[in-house]
């Protein structure tokens, strides 16, 4: 059947727009955005996704303030694909493509009406590919952008003013294949479990430029993804070579307290960025990312499903969950005297030889 998008000249395959070129159940199309104030005391992470082969659309908004992580989740049947990025009381309005978005979340415990303005042009990331044998478990295209926020956020009935001089953030758009929805039979993977997973994603915004660094490594340190770019206001994109990094983990944990990124400018000169983590949100604690026992992106929860929850981050059961997934940290950075803000997203699970972690129980000295 035709969908509203079929009226537009945007087709990429001889299919109507309610179908995607891949029949993989895990095809997805998502938006991710975050926002934080200048001291990192309030950290908001949100996302919206559609899963055409599962017939589901959903969204979440989570906010950490002090030792509480609030989250509201929406899910519904995907009846047709359209230009509306909306589900339940949640919507993203594209005010100006690649420049300005409006995010609206309406719920009595957590709500927002905030507008994103890109401070630098959006930039393509390198394609993401992960294989299990010959099958792609992740095969995605993404773009990233750094910017500012304005509007109003309400947390448990308390309004918080969001102004662009204090609030900044990062966003990405991605689409392709990644594990979503209900779990698939483990099959051979159950007999041959992965030894480890290591991932680092660092988008940072300074006054004069932005930087996006992505590294993914196998347990032996072999890089399967390596991307480092500096984005200038006029749209120039400068490759920053092969990143080297030093991460300082909190003793007895794998919590990254600091990191130093060693990059190389196009003229061969060094670019060194020091990053300090501030606040953090565990994406698998209520936000639906891998390993979240409460909810998973693309999971069928029934028509018109809405759920709100608050997590006490001092609860021993929650504390025990945090290390076993991807964690977004508000990041304060310095580069040659300039101060910037952004995110350090990190996961270090299982063996990782360059870090000296030999198995799932290893932690920093």
Structure confidence by residue, pLDDT tens digits, 7-41: 989 899 999 988 999 999 999 999 999 999 988 89
In this prediction, residue 185 carries a pLDDT of: 84
Q: What value does the mean pLDDT take over residues 142-148? A: 97
* pLDDT at residue number 308: 97
Alpha helix stretches (DSSP H) within the chain: 188-191, 316-321
Q: How far is CA 200 from the centre of its chain?
A: 11
Q: What is the DSSP string of 254-287?
A: --EEEEEEEEE-TTS-EEEEEEEEEEEEETTSSS
pLDDT attached to residue 2: 86
Q: What end-to-end distance do the CA atoms of the chain give, in Å?
A: 59
Position 190 pLDDT exceeds 80: no
Taking every pair of C-alpha atoms in the chain, what is the biggest distance, in angstroms? 60
pTM, to two decimals? 0.96
Contact in structure between 301 and 78 (CB atoms under 8 Å): no
pLDDT value of residue 295: 97
What sign results for the dihedral spanned by CA atoms 295, 331, 246, 127? positive
What's the mean pLDDT when you consider all of the chain? 95
State residue 23's pLDDT score: 93
- pLDDT of residue 134 exceeding 90, the answer is no
Per-residue confidence (pLDDT) for residue 187, from 0 to 100: 81
Burial class (CB in 10 A: 0-12, 13-18, 19+), 19: middle
For residues 192-204, average pLDDT? 93
Output the pLDDT for position 245. 95
Could you report the per-residue pLDDT of 226-247, keeping only the tens digit for each? 999 999 999 999 999 999 999 9
How much is the pLDDT for 214? 98
Taking residue 109's Cβ as centre, other Cβ atoms within 10 Å add up to 14
* Residue pLDDT, tens place only, 334-362: 999 999 999 999 999 999 999 999 999 99
Which domains, and CATH codes, for the chain? 27-182+193-355 (2.40.370.10)
At 191, the pLDDT band (50, 70, 90 cuts) reads confident
Q: What 3-state class would DSSP assign to 6?
A: helix
Residue 284, pLDDT score: 97
CA distance 286 to 284: 6
CB under 8 A, 24+ apart: contacts of 213-221: 213/240, 213/243, 213/261, 213/263, 214/125, 214/126, 215/243, 215/245, 216/128, 216/130, 217/352, 217/354, 219/195, 219/350, 219/351, 219/352, 219/353, 220/353, 221/352, 221/353, 221/354
At residue 189, does pLDDT exceed 80? no
């Amino acid at each position: 059947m035709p969908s509203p998008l079929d009226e537009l000249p945007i087709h990429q395959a001889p299919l109507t727009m309610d179908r995607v070129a891949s029949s993989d159940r895990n095809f997805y199309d998502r938006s991710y955005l975050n926002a934080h104030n200048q001291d990192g005391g309030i950290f908001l992470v949100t996302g919206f996704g559609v899963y055409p082969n599962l017939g589901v659309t959903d969204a979440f908004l989570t906010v950490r303030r002090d030792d509480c992580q609030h989250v509201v989740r929406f899910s519904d049947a995907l009846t047709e694909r359209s230009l509306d990025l909306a589900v339940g009381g949640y919507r993203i309005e594209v005010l100006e493509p690649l420049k300005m978005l409006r995010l609206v979340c309406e719920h009595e415990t957590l709500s927002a009406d905030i507008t994103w303005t890109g401070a630098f042009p959006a930039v393509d990331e390198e394609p993401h590919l992960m294989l299990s044998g010959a099958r792609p478990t992740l095969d995605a295209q993404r773009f990233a952008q750094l910017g500012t926020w304005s509007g109003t956020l309400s947390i448990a009935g308390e309004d918080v003013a969001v102004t662009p001089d204090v609030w900044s953030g990062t966003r990405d758009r991605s689409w392709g294949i990644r594990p979503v929805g209900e779990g698939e039979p483990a099959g051979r993977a159950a007999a041959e479990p992965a030894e480890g997973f290591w991932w680092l994603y660092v988008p940072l915004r300074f006054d004069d430029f932005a930087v996006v660094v992505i590294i993914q490594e196998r347990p032996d340190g072999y890089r399967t993804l390596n991307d480092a770019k500096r984005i200038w206001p006029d749209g120039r994109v400068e490759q920053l070579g092969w990143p080297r990094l030093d991460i300082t983990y909190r003793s007895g944990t794998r919590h990254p307290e600091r990191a130093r990124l060693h990059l190389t400018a196009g003229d061969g000169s060094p670019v060194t960025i020091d990053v300090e983590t501030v606040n953090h949100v565990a994406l698998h604690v209520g936000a639906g990312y891998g390993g979240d026992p409460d909810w998973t992106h693309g999971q069928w929860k029934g028509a018109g499903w809405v759920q709100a929850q608050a997590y006490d981050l001092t609860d021993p059961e929650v504390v025990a969950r945090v290390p076993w997934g991807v964690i977004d940290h508000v990041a304060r950075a310095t580069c040659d005297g300039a101060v910037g803000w952004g995110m350090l997203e990190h996961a270090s699970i299982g063996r990782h030889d360059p870090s000296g972690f030999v198995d799932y129980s290893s932690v920093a000295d």
